[in-house]
Structure 1
Amino acid sequence: MLSKEDEKLLALLQRDGRASISDLARALSLSRATIQSRLQKLQDTGVIKGYTLELGESYLANLVSAHVSIKVKQKLTARTNTELRQMSQISALYAISGEYDLIAIVQAQSTEQLSHLLDDIGNLEGVERTTSSVILETKFKRHSF
């Protein structure tokens, strides 16, 4: 179970993964040594897996994003998941309940590139059918624990 200070530390890091130890310590009214110790503990216990790049809004605004629902032949699920993981334009893949088995979050630099990506996904061995929904506008996005 995380302490309230750990939750606050994680929230600060989600907003700015490059924040310095000094800035984090100041924001939380804790010593630098305490922040370093908490970060090490969170890393050692697997709460923090790593630090990643967050793309800027101006770049993201120019991408075409879509949710792609994917129906998979059950015997080829593992193989299909592996092939989908290798497609760099797929930022997330979720197993879901219902008519479809997976939802992929995809991003492309143009509608033409998106069309080719959707064809590539649909042509994978094991994919029975897909349905796509292009994201027109993001109303809000939350970071969660």
Structure 2
Amino acid sequence: MQLGGAFSANQVEAHVSIKVVQKLTARTNSALESISHVAQLYSVSGEYDLIAIVQAQSLEELSAVLDDIGNLEGVERTNSAVVLETRLRR
């Protein structure tokens, strides 16, 4: 296994906007936290309730994780943006 920046450089990443059924917010948050591919989870204002930063080793793995998120109880809809290139990371 690679470590540090080299490891993360070989991963694919997506920013997933998630609309949650309000009565199931706590359950949905817990379910998302239990998915190891979810590196970060933000509560946000606007049309969507959450943004999850999802990391995987391949596009196929990423696709499976996105399907898993979309199928969680309490997830009304998602919108995913796959990161093509990191232009700046501080």
Instruction: Name which structure has the greater RCO, CA cutoff 8 Å, separation 6+.
Output: 2
2:17 paired with 1:69: yes
Which of residues 41, 47, 50 is equivalent to 1:93? 41
- Counterpart of 1:97 in 2: which secondary structure? coil
Question: Does residue 132 of structure 1 match 2:80?
Answer: yes
Give 3-state SS (helix, strand or coil) of 1:98's partner: coil
TM-score by structure 1 length?
0.59
Matches within 5 A, 1:1-145: 55-142=3-90
Q: How big is the shift at 1:59?
A: 1.2
Q: TM-score, normalised by structure 2?
A: 0.94
Q: Secondary structure at the match of 1:125?
A: coil
Return the alpha-carbon distance in structure 1 between the equivalents of residues 64 and 12 of structure 2. Answer: 13
Deviation track 1:26-70 (CA, whole Å, cap 9, x = no partner) reads xxxxxxxxxxxxxxxxxxxxxxxxxxxxx5222111100010000
Q: CA offsets per residue over residues 12-31 of structure 1, 9 Å max, x none?
A: xxxxxxxxxxxxxxxxxxxx
* Aligned pairs, number: 88
Equivalent pairs: percent with the same residue?
68
> What is the root-mean-square deviation of aligned Cα atoms in Å?
0.8
Structure 1 stretches of at least 4 aligned residues deviating more than 4 Å after TM superposition? none
SS of residue matched to 2:88:
coil
Larger relative helix fraction: 1
**What is the rounded CA distance, in whole Å, between the counterparts of 1:101 and 1:90 in structure 2?**
16
Q: Offset at 1:131?
A: 0.4
Report the residue type matching 2:38 in the other structure. I
Uncovered stretches (5+) of structure 2, i.e. residues with no partner: none
1:101-142 Cα distance to aligned partner (Å, 9 max, x none): 000000000000000000000000000000000011111122
